[in-house]
Amino acid sequence: MSGSHNLINHGAGISANKMWIAFGITLIFCLIEAFIGYRANSLALMSDAGHNLADALALALSAYAIWVANKPADNKLTFGYHRAGILAALFNAAGLVVMAGVIFYEAILRLRAPEQVQSGPMIWVALVAILVNTGIAWWFHADAKNDLNVKSAYMHMVGDAAASLGVVIAGAIIMLTGAYIADPIVSLIFALLVLWSSWGILHESIQILLEAAPVGMDLAKVEHSINHVTGVLNVHDLHVWTVSSGLIAATCHITVAEQMVSDSQKIVHEVNEMLEHEFNIGHSIVQVETDNCGGHDHQARFHTDAHHHYDHGSHQESHSHSADDHHH
């Protein structure tokens, strides 16, 4: 017995091509920025170029993950390849942490011995970087709300736009005061900003891979709502987890009064519909137990599995039902 609802990926509908275009733009710009930063002897500008390179790699990884996630489910990966995006987000966030560490180390060295910096190239290149990164971030903004993979790429671009703004400020300070120490100070601030922006994505992606309950999901409320479905006497063994961004799954056991299988099926359908509409749980497996023997170990059980596969944007639903009645 299963509900007639589909397993729908409510995540972003961004295309891999969009990511690849952003990758090409970012890669070309970071190479130009690194060359000018080297000629200007600006650590802040070279750090920003390094972060732009990380951005480019992050975009490439995200683009690949989007392509893989659209592959259909198979007998080995029954949920499909949706978690490829979560792995991409994890690697992107980890890469940001490593980059922040390297920039922090280089900035400390320059604080001890500030070096002369050409402020003019710093300012002009950083201004262009702000335009490039802000434009790409704006391009991803809507999709980043629902997809952790896209959000990781989006945060890369937002972080780099903020860092470029810092480079402009440092260049202006150097131009007006000659205080070359502003260059490594901005780099330190940038490193801390990168750590802050990457932590949330790193934590969320690890939580998803550990199959923790979705962020903001109140399991007590879910249990309460199931108990209030007409015909449900009790619910136990409730588990809710995130397969990928926008794709939530749940399993539970419900106890109902002894009745015809078709009547139990209606209750299961109502539970499935409630979980999808109230909690955005698109894949639910409900086991029905009848309360006719007075004990949990001897209850008649109806195993209800609702298996749905998401294939290239079309919704294909398949169900398997089995009922085992134990007579005493």
Query: Where is pLDDT greater, at 151 or 322?
Result: 151
Does the model's pTM come out above 0.85? Answer: no
Per DSSP, the residues of 101-142 read HHHHHHHHHHHHS-----HHHHHHHHHHHHHHHHHHHHHHHH
Domain with 187, as residue range(s), is: 16-209
Shared-domain flag, residues 158 and 194: yes
Whether the pLDDT of residue 162 is over 50: the answer is yes
Contact 117, 180 (CB under 8 A): yes
Whether the pLDDT of residue 15 is over 80: the answer is no
Amino acid at 109: L
Which CATH number covers residue 235?
Answer: 3.30.70.1350
Region 152-159 average pLDDT: 78
Contact 252, 237 (CB under 8 A): yes
Region 115-127 average pLDDT: 79
Shared-domain flag, residues 142 and 163: yes
Strands lying side by side in the sheet with 300-311: 234-244, 247-256, 281-290, 300-311, 314-324
Q: What are phi and psi of 296, to 5 degrees?
A: -60, -40
**Interval 267-313: pLDDT, tens:** 999 999 999 898 988 888 898 888 764 444 444 444 444 444 334 33
Q: Which of 152, 187, 209 marks a domain boundary?
A: 209
pLDDT at 253: 93
Query: Where is pLDDT greater, at 228 or 102?
Result: 228
Query: Where is pLDDT greater, at 278 or 83?
Result: 278
Residue 44, both tokens: 């802040």
| Of residues 121, 190, 118, the one with CA closest to residue 160 | 190
Contact 65, 88 (CB under 8 A): yes
Contact 241, 212 (CB under 8 A): yes
Region 126-144 average pLDDT: 84
**Interval 219-255: pLDDT, tens:** 899 999 999 899 899 999 999 988 876 678 899 999 9
In the chain, pLDDT over 90 holds for what percent of residues?
7
Shared-domain flag, residues 254 and 203: no
pLDDT at 14: 61
Amino acid at 121: P
Shared-domain flag, residues 183 and 35: yes
User: What is the count of structural domains for the chain?
Assistant: 2
3-class DSSP assignment, residue 91: helix
3-class DSSP assignment, residue 171: helix
Shared-domain flag, residues 117 and 178: yes
CA dihedral sign of residues 7, 10, 16, 17? positive
